């Protein structure tokens, strides 16, 4: 790649206590790309996303953002550089209103942008506007996912990390969520790194994809290419898709 990648993960290993979750992962995400990472449960997908954000910290290898080594930075310093994450399980603040959750998303944002960004999220997800004063913990799964995405966008990230945005959602909402993700990338130029078990939707949306198994990258290629790959089909697509 001639241009410096926005995100470069080089030989990253991560341990949870004595258990090694990642065994030297290498991958890159270029500016403006949508990259999907697929893999089975326990392959280390979520661990990789959290490692990029420094929690847990990689025990070996390096994570670079625009060439800067961020491996050893504390989480709040990493996200300050323009990274936002929609984490596994969404992690909505349950005893805060929808509005307050979005305010939290704007922690690193410019105060003058707040009203505009809020409007943008409410336009994207009108349901959130209706639920504005409702507590996060009382939202449905789909609404929580919308809120998690909206919250991540409030900081105007350059790089958006999404962890299984389709998990546990009805097919209709899954389609809606993926459509929004595509729009965020195309219309706002946000670079997207997406982790999914739902390989079909993810690879259809993505420019490129990686397959993670047992803490290692097994395959990589263009999204459509991977979709057609026999091994991918057998492991991640058979048994129906949403």
Binding site for other proteins (CB under 8 A): 53, 55, 74-76, 79-80, 84-85, 87, 89, 91, 93-96, 100, 103-105, 107-108, 137, 151, 155
> Do the beta carbons of residue 29 and residue 191 sit within 8 Å?
yes
Concatenated DSSP letters of 204-239? HH-SEEEEEETTEEEEEEEHHHHHH-HHHIIIIITT
Distance of alpha carbon 231 from alpha carbon 208, whole angstroms: 16
Provide, rounded to whole angstroms, the least separation between the CB of residue 190 and other proteins: 16
Is the alpha carbon torsion for 117, 46, 190, 11 positive or negative?
positive
Measured from the CB atom, the residue of 108 and 237 that comes closer to other proteins is: 108
Dihedral angle of Cα 89, 94, 97, 103, to the nearest 10 degrees: -60
> Do the beta carbons of residue 165 and residue 159 sit within 8 Å?
no
> Do the beta carbons of residue 27 and residue 49 sit within 8 Å?
no
Provide, rounded to whole angstroms, the least separation between the CB of residue 227 and other proteins: 30
Measured from the CB atom, the residue of 105 and 215 that comes closer to other proteins is: 105
* Per-residue burial over 20-59, b = 16 or more CB atoms within 10 Å of its CB, e = otherwise: bbbeebebbbbeebbbbbbbeeebbbbbbbbbbbbeebbe
Measured from the CB atom, the residue of 91 and 204 that comes closer to other proteins is: 91
Provide, rounded to whole angstroms, the least separation between the CB of residue 26 and other proteins: 24
Measured from the CB atom, the residue of 113 and 175 that comes closer to other proteins is: 113
Measured from the CB atom, the residue of 78 and 203 that comes closer to other proteins is: 78
Provide, rounded to whole angstroms, the least separation between the CB of residue 241 and other proteins: 27
Provide, rounded to whole angstroms, the least separation between the CB of residue 110 and other proteins: 13
Measured from the CB atom, the residue of 84 and 149 that comes closer to other proteins is: 84
Provide, rounded to whole angstroms, the least separation between the CB of residue 154 and other proteins: 9
């Amino acid at each position: 790649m001639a241009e410096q990648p926005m995100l470069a993960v080089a030989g990253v290993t991560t341990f949870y206590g004595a258990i090694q979750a990642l065994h030297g992962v290498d991958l890159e995400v270029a500016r403006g790309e949508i990259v999907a990472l697929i893999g089975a449960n326990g392959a280390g997908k979520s661990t990789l996303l959290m490692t990029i954000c420094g929690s847990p910290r990689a025990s070996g290898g390096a994570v670079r953002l625009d060439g800067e080594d961020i491996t050893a930075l504390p989480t709040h310093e990493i996200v300050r550089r323009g990274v936002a994450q929609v984490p596994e399980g969404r992690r909505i603040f349950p005893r805060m209103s929808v509005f307050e959750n979005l305010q939290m998303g704007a922690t690193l944002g410019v105060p003058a942008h707040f009203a505009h960004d809020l409007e943008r999220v409410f336009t994207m997800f009108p349901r959130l506007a209706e639920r504005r004063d409702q507590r996060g913990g009382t939202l449905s799964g789909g609404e929580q996912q919308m809120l998690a995405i909206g919250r991540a966008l409030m900081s105007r990230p350059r790089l958006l990390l999404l962890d299984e945005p389709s998990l546990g959602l009805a097919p209709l909402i899954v389609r809606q969520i993926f459509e929004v993700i595509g729009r965020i990338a195309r219309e706002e130029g946000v670079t997207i790194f997406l982790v999914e078990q739902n390989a079909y939707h993810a690879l259809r949306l993505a420019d490129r994809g990686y397959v993670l198994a047992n803490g290692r990258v097994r395959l990589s290629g263009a999204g459509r290419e991977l979709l057609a790959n026999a091994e991918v089909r057998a492991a991640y697509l058979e048994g129906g898709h949403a």
